[in-house]
Structure 1
Amino acid sequence: MPLTAVASAREILTGLHDVMAKRGSAQAKLDRVVDLIAEAMKSEVCSIYLLRDNALELSATHGLRKEAVHVTRLALGEGLVGTIAEEGRILNLDEAANHPAFAYRPETGEESFHSFAGVPIIRREQVIGVLAVQHAEPRRYDDVEIEALQTVAMVLSEMIASARLVDGVRGARRDAGMQRMLGLKLVAGMAKGVAVFHQPRVVVEHTVAEDIEAERTRVYAAFRRMREQIDNMTREAEFGTAGEHNEILETYKMFAYDEGWSRRINEAIDSGLTAEAAIERVQQRTRARMREIDDPILKERMHDLEDLSNRLMRIVSGRMGTAAQTGLTKDAILIAKNLGPAELLEYDRRRLKGVVLEEGSLTAHVTIVARAMGVPVVGRTADIRHVANEGDTILLDGDTGTVVVRPNRPLTSAFDSRMAMSQKRRAEYATIRGLPAETKDGERVTLMVNAGLAEDAAMLEMAGADGIGLFRTEFQFLIAATLPGRESQLRLYRNVLDAAGDKPVVFRTVDIGGDKALPYLSEEQKDESENPAMGWRALRLSLQRKALMKAQARALIEASAGKTLRVMFPMVSEPWEYEEARALFEEQIAWTKSAKRAVPKRVEFGAMLEVPSLAEMLDILLPRVDFLSIGTNDLTQFLFAADRADPRLADRYDWLSPAILRFLRRVANEARAAGVPVRVCGEMAGRPLEAMALIGIGIDSFSITPAAVGPVKAMVRSIDAAAVRSRVEALLAKPPANMRKALGDWARRHGVAIG
């Protein structure tokens, strides 16, 4: 096609404007539209399929047989057109018949056409039809042709909707009865409130611009106002300025000032669209890219851009009324497809009790900010926006990932009782917060916390913990747009140490790579294997990227000046890896001293035992380490060859299996004989019954989630350590068929607080 996308789209839009302005039947207008598009794009075929009775009906065509109109129908997912509609994506094929979804319809006479390009026609985030072009010769359509098709499809959606040519928006029926939905646990906690829809989107009513320069002026003004809002928001976040959520807001701010984004919107205006339609046009392209992205970090950045697009759309249209702007009048459970971190911050924390998302992920920026705010979140609740009505009662359980819409009275009563019991337990745990984790026979157990945010260090007193046993330094790397520099890392580590005060902090060097891919890593350093958790990650990657590790070492050394630096290396599989990593740190300490800069008064080095092979080399490793941390999450799945994320293997992943307890006992005994402290880091130690078993095999130091400190401390203070050891040793000598049941029964008989 010789014309540019802008020129082609503008030519077609001008014609569409004339078609829509003239009188005539909806069918006559559709027939004129396909002729117009085919002529402008020099296409032999142009067809429009519309969604009717949950199927795609050929509603107008130029080039195919006219008798096929309103006769040819394709189910969602059937054929090329059905695939586009079901998945909401573009197809661009030089040989249509070679595509696995191709479905031949003889009545259309399309057998003589080889090439095919189709784009979804979208209205209010739902596909309502498909616009397709075809040529006889095999060829792939240029990007500018696809761009023009997408722009035209967007304008068509307005005409189609106003003429009521399609069914209403697809979605689950809002039932008057109770609905229970299972989603993804994102932020723990329980909440009860009424459903409030975030409603971030503005429906574009007018797509074709009357005055392009006026539309451009509106967009420029909206950009200025949006950037002012973001600047104010990053300054006024109520939970402080330190930590990774602040890094998230800075990344978000970077998108707000992205010139490429504003340029694409201006190009869409040049093609003849209104400001609102141009923003929507670029947003649709972003959504299409999101569907093709597998990398969760990159996908999260696309969500941020969508959030900003929604904000810009509201400003340019003058419709600022999200639920945040209109105010929450009751305790609310916020419902949204997805949220950006800045949008969440706009809500009144006193009224916002929980969030339910149709999308969302554990690494999502909104999840991180919600965790810092203490707001429970459940994600991946498909179709929640169609199941719930505004004002419905919602029960949200972030601990189980359950959402109940319109609960009945017995369920509400049971939920209220659970919430009351949870609050009572928290109150009980608060009474022992300042007391030591000491058994009835006087043995002291160290309870530390796992952390990843600077705020976690400030919460040590509230949790009643002895320090931070594992600070995950990679979080800063996962949320940054580029590799964090030494200064950025230095600020974070210094803030963590200052917040912890006299309590110890153990920094784990970055555990990135594998299933925690960074978009700014070079391709050869990304792991695309079938099981990335066992691949090129953690210390393996750091030892290859020595510059990355040196920068982190320098930042940790300078941040710990005059204090004790405790650093441990993740996923050590052989002693030489530990030695190489330690030597790198020691070189950086020597360099810092030679530069006349302050260094830590003491440095303690440790290794994480997560790979079973290291247990066979403890006689060589232990004399060189100051402490040993056992990462039970990875260790257990490696021991049992059982992916912990696979529900089919749930019964193969029991931390109270005699095999794992015997393995851990052997490691603990060897470390004790060498005089090396051992700590268990991971979910296993955060469960009272499992923690009791660990005490039974001689481990008395744990690093767990802050929420687990209270329950585990209560368990510790209710046991006799000698009696527990005696019982566990007897059970391991002659394992019962069900170790979990045997330990649980014993604990209950002896009044152990296992919850």
Structure 2
Amino acid sequence: MAAVSAAREILRRLHEVMAAKTGAEAKLNQVVRIVADALSSEVASIYLLRDGMLELYATQGLAQEAVHVTRLSMGQGLVGVIAATREPLNLAEAKEHPDFAYRPETGEDDYHSFAGVPIVRRESAIGVLGVQHREPRDYDEVEIEALQTVAMVLSELIHGAGLVDDAQAAQARAASSGPLRLTGLKLVDGLGRGAAVFHQPRVIVEHTVADDVDAERARVYGAFGRMREQIDTMMGQAEFAGGGDHHDVLDTYKMFAYDEGWARRINEAIETGLTAEAAIERVQARTRARMRSIDDPYLRERLTDLDDLSNRLLRIVSGQLGTAAAVGLRGNTILIARNLGPAELLEYDRRFLKGVVLEEGSLTAHVIIVARAMGVPVLGRVRGLFADVSEGDELIVDAANGALLVRPQAAMIASYKAMSALKARQAQKFAAVKDLPAVSKDGKRVAIMMNAGLADDAQALDLTGADGIGLFRTEFQFLVSTTLPRRERQQALYRTVLDTAGDRPVVFRTVDIGGDKAVPYLSGGDDEENPAMGWRALRLALGRAGLMKVQARALLEASAGRTLSVMFPMVSEPWEFAEAKALVESQRLLLGRQGHKLPVAVRYGAMIEVPALIEALDVLLPMTDFVSVGTNDLTQFLFAADRANPRLADRYDWLSPAILRVLRRIVRESKAAGVPATICGEMGGRPLEALALLALGVETLSITPTGVGPIKAMVRSAELAPLQAAMAQWLDSPGVNVRTELLAMALAQGVEL
């Protein structure tokens, strides 16, 4: 409680300063004295952004002659770094920081330690508050929080006094109003055009110091009640009430909304003397700081959900609608946000929502699962988004190419329209062959399966004309749950997928979690340097036999009366496959003894992703009913090249003779053993690369639903026999550029690429 009392005392004194009838500069001089006294610091200083420079405006401890004289640009010195990054600094030895800038006129030679926080308004830094001590020391978290609380009050004072121009950032944006191309990370594929609409201009907290703590506490409790009612209502809506991944996402969201620890932290901030709005923002700032320090992508995205709920609570308590969803979309829209929670995305009218662009965002975010199900393209990690885009700007989102076109010129718009028209014509062409088999001109039948991971994905079988589901990723249900999914929930999902598929085959891949797919209810691989090659997939499942037994029983029960095809991911050695198969068989025997109805047959397959397994195919293949080659992982492991690293893009060529020879060997040995081999992964969804696979003798592909139409059209336009003869010659002749040769031959044949 000592920290609470100290914070309350600072706020009480600041309240008196704010209420006084002195000028703004005199008030700032009082503030630095209060801060220096409260933190027992020799120096406390305030810098304000004026005419684009950070000007020393008030100080206790530095030379008074430096006031209004010392000026730093954004990014210059420690103060400039804080303003540019909007992040606090906590340094025991300030001079050791690479951005330290010595200013002799301030007389700061004798000071070692430094702590500073940004003064923020409308998401822009308008100044910096800093303290210094003569002795080297690290500042406590409580002290940094006290500085941040003072900075919130200063933002209100500075704005009210007109000491800085809030319009500076807007003017800077206006000075660069021409067309721009911003780059980002493809989170959900697609193309969209519309007007920029900001999802959530942050609620501006105008009053930070409370007059009546009890009244502020009551306002927060009332806001929590209304927020929880909103979440409960959303979960009861018909389209989300039936379970599945959407419901799991909202379940986690609801858990945060009812988290008493979160409510308690806000209440503690109010106890220090903050208003309800300021307390929520204070706790939210701490959450954001934690988000930046957490490496685990799953935990970081769960804190993003909490950040989303903080915004919702802040809007309710302040009485401000705030979001574009509350007003409603009135035309084709590209939604702009720093981050976005799944529930907030679901509030938008999907008829008008043509794309989402995030300044942050990641592939593991809950909102991405929801956006993919909605069919909305999403581009993430777009730097400069808020600086370069204004409300109402025309935007084109090209997620496939990781691009956002801002205020596009007529030529760009014409190109977009042409691309959209081309896609429409292609869609008509693919629709025309949807119900036709993928048979080449020389009569070779190719099975084109699709990959899936959500219950809704199975509905794409009818839309695409795919022959079945060659890879159903079962881990999504595990990734969006806060606890291990119960057997009944797993069983319901698997049965839904099988019912939707009907007579078409479905291959279930057992859960691939761990490594970079962290879940909160399993531990053991948190500190791995190479998570993609660590404690994950089958390795984790065999180590957690209980997890795999539950999934095996769910799969067996869901497949009662049908054929179950189950596949194990990331098999490194044949004994792992044998052990996994034996585990499933033991569960089949157990269910049989208990009188449960069983599958009519169980087919067992192995994913070939680890290069070592290729050297043991003679041992593995006799054990299996089928194999699937995961080209994404196999290629990156083969080349020791992270496929997500753009600097290694030119080292990750699927038409390299090295990977093609490896794939040829797998195809040949599988055929010799009478074991069907499927190619799963991105390679099979690219027309030219898929053509190379067919030239190697591959007969089954499993690809994304959007790739089924283009690949089927490609197969039906190709003559495979001459391509297979040519491929054999190219791979046996060193130095041949397979990509160039294959493309030339495909164009000569008139293959649709």
Query: Per the alignment, do residues 128 and 346 of structure 1 end up closer, same or farther by CA in structure 2, a change over 3 Å counting?
Result: same
Whole-angstrom CA distance in 2 between matches of 1:13 and 1:298: 33
State the distance in 2 between where 1:292 and 1:170 align: 28
Question: After superposition, where does 1:228-267 map in structure 2 within 5 Å?
Answer: 228-236=229-237, 238=239, 241-267=242-268
Aligned to 1:249, what secondary structure does the other structure show?
Answer: helix
One-letter amino acid matched to 1:173: R
In 2, distance between residues paired with 1:275 and 1:239?
32
Match of 1:17 among 15, 24, 38: 15
- 1:469 maps to what in 2? 470
Which secondary structure state, in structure 1, belongs to the residue aligned with residue 187 of structure 2?
strand
Q: Which residue of 1 aligns with 2:615?
A: 616
Over the matched positions of the two proteins, sequence identity in percent amounts to 64
Contact 1:562 1:599 in 2 (8 A): yes
Aligned to 2:275: 274
Unaligned runs of 5+ in 1: none
Who is 1:129 aligned against? 127
Amino acid at match of 2:502: G
The equivalent residue for 1:198 is 199
Q: 1:37 to 1:412 in 2, by over 3 A?
A: same
CA distance 1:527–1:709, change in 2 (3 Å): farther
**SS in structure 2 opposite 1:128?**
strand
**Equivalent in the alignment of 2:680:** 681
Letter in 1 for 2:489: S
- C-alpha distance in 2 between matches for 1:489 and 1:115: 55
**Aligned-partner residue type, residue 449 of structure 1:** M
What secondary structure sits across from 1:201 in the alignment?
Answer: coil
TM-score of the two chains, using structure 2 as the length reference? 0.95
TM-score (norm 1): 0.94
Displacement of 1:356 after TM fit? Answer: 1.6
Amino acid of the residue matched to residue 528 of structure 1? E
Q: Is the 8 A contact 1:637 1:643 kept in 2?
A: yes
Does residue 448 of structure 1 match 2:446? no
| Deviation by residue 1:688-720 (Cα, 9 ceiling, x = unmatched) | 122122111111101100000000011111223
Query: 3-state DSSP class of the match of 2:26?
Result: helix
1:605 aligned counterpart, secondary structure: strand
Partner of 1:638: 637
What is the deviation of 1:411? 1.8
The equivalent of 2:736 in structure 1 is 737
1:5–1:148 CA contact under 8 A, matched in 2: no
Which residue does 2:604 correspond to in 1? Answer: 605
User: Which residue in 1 is equivalent to 2:550?
Assistant: 551
Supply the distance in 2 between the matched residues of 1:127 and 1:290 (Cα, whole angstroms).
20
- Asked if residue 29 in structure 1 is aligned to residue 30 in structure 2, the reply is no
CA displacement 1:420-474 (0-9 Å, x = unmatched): 0101101111111112112233322111111111111122111211111111122
Match of 2:162?
164
Report the more deviating stretch, 661-670 or 645-654. 645-654
- Which residue is equivalent to 1:414? 415
Does 1:356 find its partner at 2:351? no
The two structures, once aligned, show a CA RMSD in angstroms of 2.2
Equivalent residues, number: 750
CA shift for structure 1 position 104 = 4.4
Corresponding residue number in structure 1 for 2:323? 322
2:123–2:202 CA contact under 8 A, matched in 1: no
Alignment of 1:296-695 (within 5 A): 296-522=297-523, 524-529=524-529, 531-695=530-694
Change (3 A) 1:528 1:52: farther
Please state if 1:8 is matched with 2:9: no
Q: Deviations over 1:202-233 (max 9, x none)?
A: 11111111222221121111111111111121
Measured in 1, the distance between the counterparts of 2:241 and 2:698 equals 37
Stretch moving more, 671-680 or 44-53:
44-53
Once the two structures are overlaid, the 10-residue window that deviates more, 361-370 or 341-350, is 361-370
- Alpha-carbon separation, structure 2, partners of 1:242 and 1:186: 24
- Measured in 1, the distance between the counterparts of 2:334 and 2:537 equals 38
Find the aligned partners of 1:382 and 1:320 in 2 and give their Cα distance. Answer: 27
For the residues of structure 2 that align with 1:115 and 1:397, how far apart are their CA atoms? 47
Give the AA of the match of 1:368: I
Hey, what's the Cα distance between the residues in 2 that align with 1:692 and 1:136? 70
CA spacing shift, 1:108–1:682, aligned 2, 3 Å: same
What do residues 28-73 of structure 1 show as CA deviations (whole Å, max 9, x unaligned)? 1100111122233443332223333444333222233322323334
One-letter identity of the residue aligned with 1:371? R
Name the counterpart of 1:286. 287
Supply the AA of the counterpart residue of 1:574.
Answer: E
Q: 1:256 Cα shift?
A: 0.9
Instruction: Report the Cα distance in structure 2 between the residues aligned to 1:404 and 1:648, rounded to whole angstroms.
Output: 23
Give the C-alpha shift of residue 122 in structure 1: 2.1
1:6–1:148 CA contact under 8 A, matched in 2: no
- How many Å separate the matches in 1 of 2:129 and 2:487? 51
Cα distance, 1:321–1:111 mapped onto 2, change above 3 Å: closer
Question: Which 10-residue stretch deviates more, 226-235 or 476-485?
Answer: 476-485
Aligned partners of 1:527 and 1:535 also within 8 Å:
no
Is the alpha carbon distance of 1:95 and 1:725 closer, same or farther for their aligned partners in structure 2, counting shifts above 3 Å? closer
Structure 1 letter corresponding to 2:596: R
The one-letter amino acid paired with 2:575 is W
Deviations 1:124-165 (CA, angstroms, capped at 9, x unpaired): 222322222334444443433333222222111111222233
CA 1:194–1:114: 2 relative to 1, 3 Å: closer
